Structure 1
Amino acid sequence: MKNLTSIIAVAMSTFSGEPVFAQSQSRAEQNPYSLVYGGALSKNEQGKVNIEPVSYQVNGIDIAANIYVPANFDTVKRYPSIVLAHPNGGVKEQTTGLYAQRLAELGYITIVADAAYQGASGGYPRHTDRPQNRIADIHGMADFLSNYPGVDSDRIGLLGICGGGGYSLKAAESDKRFKAVATLSMFNSGEVRRNGFQNSQLQTIQQRLLQASEARAEEAKGGEIRLTGVASVTDEEIAKTPAGLYREGFEYYYRTHSHPNSTFLYTTSSLMDLMTWDATDQLELLDQPLLMIVGSKADTKYMSDEAFKKATNAKDKELFLIDSATHIETYWKPQYVDQIVNKLSSFYQSHL
């Protein structure tokens, strides 16, 4: 457990080192929609997939989102559509944008939005990261999409990636507008914030809950907003991080696919909600078709395994392994992305 504890210590602290953003910041700056994924749209062209930045409100908070529409989009027609929920710390311009674009190429209208309090969306205190907000974001995307021209509201699917996967499971328990539910590299945010990654912080649960409570008390007095997590990371710190989720995550989010709106900071008080929440609670309420995709070498695979077992009433459920893929590699690596898109295509085709 020593290595896991050191990983968590890195992930739960704020680095003083300055990140090297040159490569991927320039990618965001060069793209008119600030998309940083490979093969991203750079302009709208007739007869091809198009992107439309949109905004709306969820619980009084301004939400920034992107809609992708299929080639030769015709508002007179009715299209199946898919809501996508982004990973923890991620934004709509990264991996969820990639999958939204690829699914639009298959004929779906797709939407991906920055979570409230994060990215380009509104909300204060910034970096608030509470499960109820993330779930409301998913319901809000469905609200907006249901009223978008060309959308067949009876054929809406859901795809959650990493933390967005856990929140998607919870959203689908109650929201039956989602006719088919898929997750990719699902991450149970509550379990990890509570127990630590791979149960490496079981001995400090009460201590961390006390810190969260004290942080909320400070906020209530109008004092400092305390933050937990990673603000930046140096090359040396990346090199010292053991191989796996956190090292690859640092490389993806702070080097190869970084975006100025993406951050791994969250308010310490958010832990009061995160640590008492679990993506698998009452999962028997989810009765839609369920596809859970995970890399065979992902050190987060145990979370998909746990959730899959608890989704006892899901129809036609399947746990699909991407051979040799790690958690982060499913976000961007072309050979894995192609496999995942093909699997999602057959899944949504069957159920939407």
Structure 2
Amino acid sequence: MSEYYIFELSENVTRTQVRYKNRYGIELAGDLYRAKNMDEGRKYPALVIGAPYGGVKEQGPGVYANVLAQRGFVVLTFDPSFKGESGGEPRHVSSPEIFSEDFSAGVDYLGSCAFVDREQIGAIGICGSGGFALSAAQMDSRIKAVATASMYDISAMRGKMTPEQLSQRIDQLSRQRWTDFEKGEPEYIPSFPKEPVLSIPEGLDPVSREFFSFYGLKRGHHPNARAGHTTTSDLAFLNYQLLNHIDSISPRPILFIMGENAHSRHYSEDAYAAAVEPKELYIVPDAIHIDLYDDVEKIPFDKIEDFFMTAFSSEKD
């Protein structure tokens, strides 16, 4: 499906398919974006960009990479483990540890490129990848700066439940393991259709309608991004909190970007409050959550470029 992208590649950008392994031995499928006029005899700043939770590299990450490559960055996008064209079995598993590791594996790969400055590598996480990018940076000092866009902290689900609800959910998921074992495969219920449809189904709640307007319609649909993960994947997120050590990222800077009207604002606000300086919360006027997936008129590329170049300049001083 590598030929299926939701955006048109700039005539000034080269995109190369790459493959590399994370520390678990899972082979990741990535795209490397570079300006066509890049001098490979020089070293350039680089970024690794993660997809929204359930998304793939041909969607939002590619939109960002296509623009940022024209601004002088070498940019790596990737399909998370168990998703898209990346390896990992069973398919559609979600793991807070492995999804965070996938960012560090991207840094491994970028650092192996002769034209990348190893001291100028940053990370961008869109939606759920925002939490994974921050989690990776907590334990990987090679990530010199982190930006998130429409961040979701998937592991925050535990804090939204009463003790009774949490106990019931853990029991339900625990018993699902027996069902999965007896079937020989884990339960996976996709959220979106195989092919894009013309309209949003009736009866969805406002947040589900918003996501469907991207993933289920032509705007953002991709056959490798039907969202949802294996049902028992939630167990790991109930037990593993992604951002418990966000304060340890300092003195490396964090930029939280969120839409003024995004339903997900509280995730960025909570993470910002827990983080230590240097940090910044940047609000995009009149933007909802999914606008920061692909709307190049609303994604603040000037701000993103300035943030990383300032962070990398400080690293050299």
| TM score, norm. by length of structure 1 | 0.82
* 1:236 CA displacement: 7.2
Equivalence map 1:74-85=2 (5 Å)? 74-85=39-50
**What amino acid maps onto 1:120 in structure 2?**
E
**What amino acid maps onto 2:255 in structure 1?**
L
What secondary structure, in the 3-state scheme, does the structure 2 residue paired with 1:75 have?
Answer: coil
2:14 counterpart of 1:50: yes
Equivalence map 1:78-227=2 (5 Å)? 78-192=43-157, 194-195=158-159, 199=160, 204-220=165-181, 223-227=184-188
CA distance in 2, matches of 1:99, 1:110: 9
CA, structure 1 residues 61+54, in 2 after alignment: closer, same or farther (shift >3 Å)?
same
What corresponds to 1:12 in structure 2?
none
2:276 counterpart of 1:306: no
CA distance in 1, matches of 2:156, 2:68: 30
CA, structure 1 residues 333+236, in 2 after alignment: closer, same or farther (shift >3 Å)?
closer
* 1:75 CA displacement: 1.8
What corresponds to 2:9 in structure 1?
40
Query: What are structure 1's unaligned runs of at least 5 residues?
Result: 1-27
Query: What are structure 2's unaligned runs of at least 5 residues?
Result: 313-317
* 1:292 CA displacement: 0.4
CA distance in 2, matches of 1:334, 1:216: 42
2:295 counterpart of 1:326: no
Q: Alignment length, in residue pairs?
A: 307
CA distance in 2, matches of 1:162, 1:68: 21
Report the identity percentage.
31
What corresponds to 1:252 in structure 2?
214
| TM score, norm. by length of structure 2 | 0.90
What corresponds to 2:315 in structure 1?
none
What secondary structure, in the 3-state scheme, does the structure 2 residue paired with 1:91 have?
Answer: coil
**What amino acid maps onto 1:333 in structure 2?**
D
CA, structure 1 residues 181+210, in 2 after alignment: closer, same or farther (shift >3 Å)?
same
CA, structure 1 residues 297+200, in 2 after alignment: closer, same or farther (shift >3 Å)?
farther
CA distance in 1, matches of 2:246, 2:116: 28
Q: Deviations over 1:172-208 (max 9, x none)?
A: 011111111110011011113x35xxx4787532222
CA, structure 1 residues 40+249, in 2 after alignment: closer, same or farther (shift >3 Å)?
farther
* 1:149 CA displacement: 2.8
**Could you say which structure has the higher helix fraction?**
1
CA distance in 2, matches of 1:118, 1:53: 16
